[in-house]
Amino acid sequence: MNRVGENSGKPRRPRRRGVLPLALALGCAGGGGAGGAGGGAVDGFAAFDRDGDGSITRLEYLQTSADAFARLDANRDGWLAGAELERFPPEVRARIDADRDGALSRDEFLGSALDSFLRCDPDRDDRVTRAEAQACGP
Ligand SMILES: [Ca+2]
Ligand SMILES: [Ca+2]
Ligand SMILES: [Ca+2]
């Protein structure tokens, strides 16, 4: 009985980079969950581009972030804490948790979203294009 290395829980977790940083946190954003066959970088972008015009406005970004917050806040107490935070990679969590109390308030969450938005909009036209989103590091 020689076991041929079967595919036991292959750690195939392509790092999702190049999409807006917060999309990482939202992880979810693209609801569709297209099972990552290579290349199909998560389309966090489409999730934020609510009207599908190819760019994300500040309003679209904040609305999507607010929706995501509501979805993530399972017990509806206005905070993300405990199990609600499990899907956030630690570095993302640390970045959002401005006051370091281990929980994310809605303000922290949206404040961080706005930061991300501004960082990804170098020309300050209040729109993040797909190219800007891709260029914008984590
Ligand atoms: Ca748009
Ligand atoms: Ca909560
Ligand atoms: Ca906090």
pLDDT by residue (tens digit) across 25-38?
A: 454 443 333 333 33
- A 10 A CB-CB count for 21 gives 25
Q: What is the 26 CA–ligand 2 centroid distance (Å)?
A: 15
Once rounded to an integer, what is the mean pLDDT over residues 76-89? 93
User: What share of the chain in percent tops pLDDT 90?
Assistant: 55
The residues near 107 (Cβ < 8 Å, ≥ 6 apart) are none
- 3 C-alpha to center of ligand 1: Å? 52
35-62 pLDDT, tens per residue? Answer: 333 344 457 889 899 999 999 999 999 9
Of 14, 46, 15, 41, the closest CA to residue 29 belongs to 46
Asked: is 43-135 a CATH 3.40.50.300 domain? The reply is: no
67 or 24: which leads in pLDDT: 67
**Distance (Å) from CA 122 to ligand 2 centroid:** 33
Helix, strand, or coil (residue 97): coil
Ligand nearest to the CA of 81: 2
State the ligand closest to the CA atom of 72. 2
- The token pair at 61 is 């970004």
